[in-house]
Amino acid sequence: MGDTNDRSRSAKRELRRSLLARRRERSAPERDRAGSAVRDTLMGLPWLAMGGTVASYYSVGGEPDTRRLVNALWKRGTYVLLPVFLPDGTLDWAAFDGPDSLAPAGHGLVEPTGHRYGPEVLGRADAVICPALAVDRRGNRMGRGAGCYDRALAHKGPHTPAIAVVHDDEFVEELPTEPHDRPVDAVVTPGGGLHVFEPAAVIWPGR
C-alpha cells in the first residue's frame, strides 16, 4: 500500500508540473473565451439559477476565467462565497460584495475582506464551484497539492453538487489518486459544457 501511494504521489507531482507549465502558456484571449463559455454553462444550472448561496473562487493565472461568473451571480442576487486561505491550509469563506470587496492576498490571489463565516458554512451552499488542474472520467480531481479543497469539500451538504472547472484538454481519461482525494460530482469545460459523473452524490434534475 505504501509503495502504491508513493507511486501515486510521484505521478501526481510530475503531472502537476506539466499541467501548470501548459497553463502558463495559455493566452489571455484563450482564458477569456474559456471564461465566457464556462459562465454561460454554469449560469443555466438549476442550483445557480435559483439564487441562494454559491461557493465559488476567483480565478488566477492560467485557470479558466471565473471572475465573469462570480460577478454575474452577484449581480443577479446570488449570495456568493469566496475562499480565504488560512495559514494552516484550511479554507475559510467570506462573501463577495463586488470587486471592491476584494484585496490582494499573495501568490496572485485576491480574497474577500468581509466577515469570515468559518469552514462549516459550506454546508449551507447550494453549489460549490471548485478549481482543479485536471479532472478524470470518474470524477477524480487534481488540485495543486495542498489538499485545501479535499478538506473543504468534506463540509458540503450530501446533496450539494461540487463542480470543477477545467480547460478542455484537462478533462482526461484517468488521474493518479490517493486515499484522501475527494472526487467532484461534475465538471464544466469551455467546449464540452457540463459532464455529470455517475453515480452522482446529488439529484440532478432531468437525469
Binding residues for substrate: 63
Question: Do the beta carbons of residue 77 and residue 51 sit within 8 Å?
Answer: yes
Can you say which residues are annotated as belonging to the binding site?
12-16, 63, 141-149
What pairing do the DSSP bridges indicate for beta strands 171-172 and 127-131?
unpaired
Residues with Cβ within 8 Å of 26's Cβ and at least 6 positions away in sequence, in order, are: 62, 167
Grid cell digits, residue 134: 485536471
* Other CB atoms within 10 Å distance of the CB of residue 150: 15
| Residue set of the binding site for ATP | 12-16, 141-149
| CA–CA distance, 74 with 176 (Å, rounded to integer) | 36
CA distance 187 to 177: 17
